[in-house]
Chains A and B, each alone.
Chain A
Amino acid sequence: MISRVIYAFLSVGILGGLLGLALAYASKIFAVKKDKRITDLEEILPGANCGACGYPGCSGYAEAIVNEGAEMTLCAPGGADVASKVGEIMGVTVEVSGEKMVAQIHCHGTRDTSKVKYDYKGINDCNAMHSSFGGDKSCPYGCLGLGSCIKVCPVDAISKTDAGYLNIDKDKCIACGKCINVCPTGVIKMIPYSAKTIVACNSKDKGGIVRKYCSVGCIGCKMCEKKSPDGGFKVENFLAYIDYSAEGSRTEAIEACPAKCIKNLDEAQ
Chain B
Amino acid sequence: MTYVGIIITFVFINNFILSQFMGLCPFIGVSKNVESAVGMGFAVTFVMSIAALATWAIQNLILVPLHIEFLQTITFILMIAALVQFVEMFVQKSSPSLYKALGIYLPLITTNCAVLGIALIAVRSNYNALESFVAGISAGLGFLLAIVLMSTIREKLDSEWIPKPFRGTPIAFITGGLMALAFMAFDKALLNNLIG
The main secondary structure of chain A at its interface with chain B is helix
Q: How far is the CA of A29 from the CA of B92 in the complex (A)?
A: 11
Check if A19 sits within 8 Å of B79, measured CB to CB.
Answer: yes
Check if A7 sits within 8 Å of B85, measured CB to CB.
Answer: no
Q: How far is the CA of A117 from the CA of B92 in the complex (A)?
A: 62
CB < 8 Å neighbour of A26 from B67, B74, B86: B86
The verdict on B93 contacting chain A, using a C-beta distance below 8 Å, is yes
Residues on B with C-beta less than 8 A from A11 are 62, 66, 68, 71, 75
The answer to whether A23 and B82 touch (CB under 8 A), given A11-B62, A12-B75, A30-B89, is yes
Residues on A with C-beta less than 8 A from B108 are none
Check if A4 sits within 8 Å of B66, measured CB to CB.
Answer: yes
Interface string of B79-98 (1 = CB under 8 A from A): 10010011001101100100
Check if B67 sits within 8 Å of A4, measured CB to CB.
Answer: yes
The answer to whether A12 and B74 touch (CB under 8 A), given A4-B67, A22-B82, A23-B82, is yes
The answer to whether A26 and B89 touch (CB under 8 A), given A4-B68, A7-B66, A11-B68, is yes
How many chain B residues touch A (Cβ–Cβ < 8 Å)? 19
The verdict on A8 contacting chain B, using a C-beta distance below 8 Å, is yes
The main secondary structure of chain B at its interface with chain A is helix
The verdict on B101 contacting chain A, using a C-beta distance below 8 Å, is no
Check if A7 sits within 8 Å of B92, measured CB to CB.
Answer: no
The verdict on B78 contacting chain A, using a C-beta distance below 8 Å, is yes
Residues of A1-44 at the interface with B, using a CB-CB cut-off of 8 Å, are 4, 7-8, 11-12, 15-16, 19, 22-23, 26-27, 29-32
Interface string of B50-88 (1 = CB under 8 A from A): 000000001000100011101100110011001001100
The answer to whether A7 and B89 touch (CB under 8 A), given A15-B78, A19-B79, is no
Q: How far is the CA of A32 from the CA of B98 in the complex (A)?
A: 14
Q: How far is the CA of A15 from the CA of B61 in the complex (A)?
A: 12
Residues on A with C-beta less than 8 A from B66 are 4, 7-8, 11
When C-beta atoms are compared, the residue in chain B nearest to A7 turns out to be B66
Q: How far is the CA of A7 from the CA of B63 in the complex (A)?
A: 9
Check if A16 sits within 8 Å of B90, measured CB to CB.
Answer: no
Q: How far is the CA of A12 from the CA of B86 in the complex (A)?
A: 19
The answer to whether A23 and B85 touch (CB under 8 A), given A12-B74, A15-B75, A30-B92, is yes
Mark A residues whose CB is within 8 Å of B: 4, 7-8, 11-12, 15-16, 19, 22-23, 26-27, 29-32
Mark B residues whose CB is within 8 Å of A: 58, 62, 66-68, 70-71, 74-75, 78-79, 82, 85-86, 89-90, 92-93, 96
